A and B are shown apart, each in its own frame.
Chain A
């Protein structure tokens, strides 16, 4: 009897109210200190066992072990191990992730166009995995057919091309599960002539299907929901900021980034030196990535988030703290 659907209840409401005193008063929500400030949307601080430090992650680039070939070509060797690890996404919420090097996203690999890249990939997990790089390479270096069984090692070798913002991820079937559980990372190939100096940040937009129902419950940039709301990313006023923005979200078709009180230049996939757009909101499909450049001319806290409000309130929301001083100390 208590389970009356809303429609029925409303229908009944139309039948008229009897002379029964209704104890209810209209909620005066706004007047009573209801938490509607942005911090009311979850926080509870940062999780202790996230596997990454979200603040350190944005500027953490892995350039590999560098050596030179006789012909002068730079060789960069990276060591990546696939392993299972339970990570704490939000305070008290644990997720059995599949990781590269024990972290989600995996390390941000960085090379310069034309470098010889050698990735020693070891699979220390109980499932088959691979590394599939976006970019030019031979068929057998594609990480699709050469499945790496548990305990085995595979060496990926290719030349870093073309310059731009690439990604790598596991390509073992079912791919949804392998990517969804955390096997992905950013792969930056710098152009031979360096980009202009800037404060560079990596942002990998992702999400987690914590109850395995084929939908994300948790959204974030760099894995930890609300991380940059609890600890805003420091920026310096007047300094060029460059974001390497990657969308590795599974299940949801699109994702987006919106920054407040500013506009950015968009370098699609980072493959052109000329910006293709000047906007404050960019929509991205799965696997899409862009380089964004902007400069703040005012100090203060500025929000950035997915413009899918649902994603934002489920974790994909953060703050820039633009200051005149003290950025380097962070």
Chain B
């Protein structure tokens, strides 16, 4: 009885809110606020696929009102086109615009979508290139991309294990601090990219809010799981830390793979040898980060392989996804998740080193380690300069 009453009290405000909403929507009491102005229109291009002789554009309505797509200009010419499923796109709805246009390989093209109210939305195809078809060859290409920039570099980094094993404790902590530096750098990079991508997310999907949700949500989730086993700093804990780092780096690499895959598929980057080598060097340091906490242990090869796959494998998945179905929304989400994962790993790493050093974590050597991590990431980043 008491419980029923409690829930009644809980439901009452909800009922009031529903009634008020109905009044606002149906009652027209607020029509004066609308001031007879035309509706706010927002269209965002979230996908462009190029096939020979066709430009196929995915459009999202991120505004508060339905939008009717009236006309399409390509390179300052009105062009014949077909819209599916319909020209009037509901709020948060999608439409696909198929434009039979003789686009030119390797050259930029400019799209302008014109709504029924004459509002225009621009989209630049930076470098036109045929969108790869999702066939075996496609998956092979993107698997190779993922292997090159993700899996192999991380694996190479793991080979530092025997070297780390031969170091004394002070230098192990230095290596962990260096890992911290790497992760701080990656966190900044991921957040910056997430926020940048968020700008091209359609308004109603609140790109910045999504970054916050993905980043902090991931952090909370990992925190809730990893916090359960309050170990005493034993071997199991260290291996768990290695896996956490691998997971964090893996989630980060998912976003990275996504972006590389999308850029490659859209012809925005031609993956030159130099760029690949840059990513390799950049990501090899990630492998180092994984093995640093378990240097004193004798992890079986299987554990190492698993951790390496966890960190590098998502790059392949990301590259597949990015090439096939990239959208700013997906990109923002993945980059945000990656940032959150790294932040969580940083926390754990800090805790581990603090415990092993009885709180005296900021020795000059450890500070130098963090700085070295940042510098390494920065200088290897020069190789993949955007």
* Chain A residues proximal to chain B, CB less than 8 Å: 1-6, 8-10, 12-30, 32-36, 39-44, 90-95, 208, 210-213, 217, 225-226, 310, 313-315
Contacts and interface: CB of A to CB of B under 8 A. Distances in A.
A94 B80 contact: no
B132 interface: yes
B105 A27 contact: yes
B263 A2 contact: yes
A4 B79 contact: no
Interface residues on B, range: 35 or more
B275 interface: yes
B133 interface: yes
A8 to B, nearest CB: 8
Interface string B71-105: 10100111110000001000000000000111111
Interface stretch (B2-10, B15-23, B118-126): B118-126
B141 A9 contact: no
A39 to B, nearest CB: 7
A39 B68 CA distance: 23
Contacts of B73: 217, 314
B157 to A, nearest CB: 20
B148 to A, nearest CB: 7
23 contacts: A1-B263, A1-B386, A2-B266, A6-B108, A8-B386, A15-B273, A17-B272, A20-B271, A20-B276, A23-B135, A23-B141, A27-B105, A33-B100, A34-B52, A34-B101, A40-B100, A41-B78, A93-B71, A94-B117, A217-B73, A217-B120, A226-B78, A314-B78
Shortest beta-carbon contacts, A-B, top 8:
A210-B118, A42-B78, A23-B132, A313-B77, A15-B272, A92-B70, A34-B53, A1-B259
A14 to B, nearest CB: 8
Contacts of B215: none
A92 B100 contact: no
Contacts of A34: 52-54, 100-102
A9 B270 contact: yes
Nearest to A7: B126
A208 B126 CA distance: 28
B132 A92 contact: no
Given A2-B268, A18-B276, A226-B78, A29 B103 contact: yes
A222 to B, nearest CB: 17
A16 B103 CA distance: 24
Given A29-B52, A94-B116, A16 B273 contact: yes
